Amino acid sequence: MTATEGAPPLHLDVSPAFGLVDVPLRIHGSGVGPKGIVRVSARLLGDDGATWSSEATFSADLDGNLDLAAQAPVAGSYEGVESMGLVWSMRADSVDARNPFLFRRRLDPLTITFEASVMGGGRAEAVARRASVSADVQRTDVREMGLVATFFQPADGRPAPIVLVFGGSGGGLSDASAALLASHGFAALSLAYFAMPGLPEDLALIPLEYFEAAIDWLAGCPNADTGRLAVMGTSRGGELALLLGATFPRVRAVVAYAPSALVYGSIRRTAGRGIDSAWTYHGEPVPWFRPTHPPAAGAPAPRPSGEPFALTPGFIAGLSDEAAVGRALIPVERIRGPVLLISGRDDEMWPSWRYGEMVMERLSRNAHPYRDEHLSYPDCGHLVGFPYVPTTVTSSVHPVTRDLFAFGGTPPGQARARERSWPRVLRFLRESLL
């Protein structure tokens, strides 16, 4: 469209201009012209230097205004009324599809630039800076007692409940999640347990005493209350969170994203998967899933060259081996506090929704005296976590095995699962750790 003489100029407003990553944005436009067509795009520069972008075309209302919380695009990178659609539908423009940006490792604020344009040359721009950590959170790098961790805590000096946070089979730290939890009032320790300097190279025979040492370290922090301790993990870290809760009475609540109901074997760079346990306790391997009749469940199914592995069918097949499953089940009924599970019903890495059902069945059968809950979402795959980040990554090269694995889910399904589950995770932690 061409702006008429005397019409207000095109304007784009995005608020808040600066805020935490889990705070939704309000995106408004004005001066488009009655029922005018406007194209809105978003772009950001990722940690690895790749540019991520999205765009959608809208028809303004009769007053020439635009509100992404009330209007669906007529075309673009997402469909339907989605106030944060331009954010979660962003895709990498130049990054190798086999190594996508899995949001994210660094903690400096991300800058998202939004641009609105109309036919005839009208253009407006707005910028939003998205922070993973609030300014009043203190950060401490921990390299003592054999630990490799990052400690985030509110700076107000008051004792805070603790969340011990760890990732899955990719190894390394989970600083973004821990920093965000600290921004909501928790003391959060991001704990690496392999694939970092000073730690084992592989996910194999990791002593559970290492995590007990982390709890002991936290007990020495004056403003951290180990009497109010939760653990939170994702994928193999979800398996670990349930196992730690079942092993150590000081754990008072468990949050497990895309978890397993049983202990699986090791993941080694050179020797493959499952040849020994991922964990040990008192010097002995924790019993793990070893099939009665090899090959091991979870082995990748044949696929066309260049296509990602979907591991879930193999894991489901393995569940029919009742003897092997029985030996490896995590005794979740021993957890001395409530359990919250979050899973996707389209998880292609492993059947986390089924594992969640198995955990809940076992808790119920043993009359677990706490308010346990399983949140399971349709069209959601393996990558569920905090909201308002790009959700277009559906496969990735595993950093340890170097296989290309499928995560499952759809971008809108992942986005909705993240948006709906995150407030419930925060509420669960607050209610459990009062």
Whether the full predicted model's pTM is greater than 0.75, yes or no, is yes
pLDDT confidence of residue 306? 72
Tokens representing 44?
């950001």
Residue 60 forms part of a structural domain: yes
Question: Is 1's pLDDT higher than 80?
Answer: no
Q: What number of other Cβ atoms are within 10 A of residue 97's Cβ?
A: 15
What's the rounded mean pLDDT across residues 58-83? 97
Question: Is 294's pLDDT higher than 70?
Answer: no
pLDDT digits (tens, 9 = 90+) for 378-397: 999 999 999 999 999 888 88
DSSP letter string, 71-126: ---SEESS-SS-TTHHHHT-EESSS-TTS---S-S--SPEEEEEEEEETTS-EEEE
Q: Which of 131, 156, 188 is the last residue of a domain?
A: 131
Contact (CB, 8 A) for 116 and 9: no
Residues 326 and 390 in one domain: yes
Residue 3 forms part of a structural domain: no
pLDDT digits (tens, 9 = 90+) for 167-211: 999 899 999 999 999 999 999 999 999 999 999 999 999 999 999
Residues 268 and 192 in one domain: yes
Residues 164 and 15 in one domain: no
Q: Cα 335 vs. chain centroid, distance in angstroms? A: 23
Question: Is 336's pLDDT higher than 60?
Answer: yes
pLDDT confidence of residue 406? 92
Residue 6 forms part of a structural domain: no
What's the rounded mean pLDDT across residues 17-21? 96
Residues 38 and 154 in one domain: no
pLDDT confidence of residue 101? 41
Phi-psi group of 31: left, alpha or beta (phi > 0 → left; psi -120 to 50 → alpha; rest → beta): left
Question: Is 148's pLDDT higher than 60?
Answer: yes
pLDDT confidence of residue 102? 54
What's the rounded mean pLDDT across residues 268-274? 75
Question: Is 98's pLDDT higher than 50?
Answer: no
Q: What number of other Cβ atoms are within 10 A of residue 208's Cβ?
A: 18
Residue 4 forms part of a structural domain: no
In whole angstroms, give the CA distance from residue 53 to residue 112: 9
Residues 119 and 267 in one domain: no
Contacts of 298 (CB under 8 A, 6+ apart): 264, 273, 274, 311, 314, 315, 318, 350
pLDDT confidence of residue 104? 66
Contact (CB, 8 A) for 43 and 61: no
Q: Cα 404 vs. chain centroid, distance in angstroms? A: 19
Residues 55 and 186 in one domain: no
Residues 304 and 387 in one domain: yes
Residue 326 forms part of a structural domain: yes
pLDDT confidence of residue 403? 81
Q: How many domains does the chain have?
A: 2
Q: Considering the chain, what percentage of its residues have pLDDT values greater than 70?
A: 92
Residues 57 and 79 in one domain: yes
Residues 253 and 366 in one domain: yes
pLDDT digits (tens, 9 = 90+) for 99-113: 444 556 778 899 999
pLDDT confidence of residue 303? 57
Question: Is 261's pLDDT higher than 80?
Answer: yes
Contact (CB, 8 A) for 26 and 84: no
In whole angstroms, give the CA distance from residue 382 to residue 235: 8
**How many residues does the structure list for the chain?**
434
Question: Is 271's pLDDT higher than 80?
Answer: no
Q: Considering the chain, what percentage of its residues have pLDDT values greater than 90?
A: 79
pLDDT confidence of residue 7? 61
Residue 2 forms part of a structural domain: no
Contact (CB, 8 A) for 193 and 266: no
Residue 111 forms part of a structural domain: yes
pLDDT confidence of residue 427? 98
Q: Which of 81, 107, 131 is the last residue of a domain?
A: 131
Residues 54 and 127 in one domain: yes
Residue 1 forms part of a structural domain: no
What's the rounded mean pLDDT across residues 127-140? 95
In whole angstroms, give the CA distance from residue 346 to residue 205: 30
Measured CA distances, 347 to 91, 102, 174, 420 (Å) = 20, 16, 21, 17
Residues 237 and 151 in one domain: yes
Q: Cα 109 vs. chain centroid, distance in angstroms? A: 18
Query: In CATH, what number is assigned to the domain containing residue 126?
Result: 2.60.40.2240
Domain that holds residue 174: 137-432
Query: For residue 308, what pLDDT band results from cuts at 50, 70 and 90?
Result: confident
pLDDT digits (tens, 9 = 90+) for 209-227: 999 999 999 999 888 888 9
Question: Is 49's pLDDT higher than 80?
Answer: no
Q: Which of 77, 106, 131 is the last residue of a domain?
A: 131
Residues 410 and 336 in one domain: yes
What's the rounded mean pLDDT across residues 237-246? 98
Query: For residue 139, what pLDDT band results from cuts at 50, 70 and 90?
Result: very high
Mean pLDDT of the chain: 91
Query: In CATH, what number is assigned to the domain containing residue 325?
Result: 3.40.50.1820
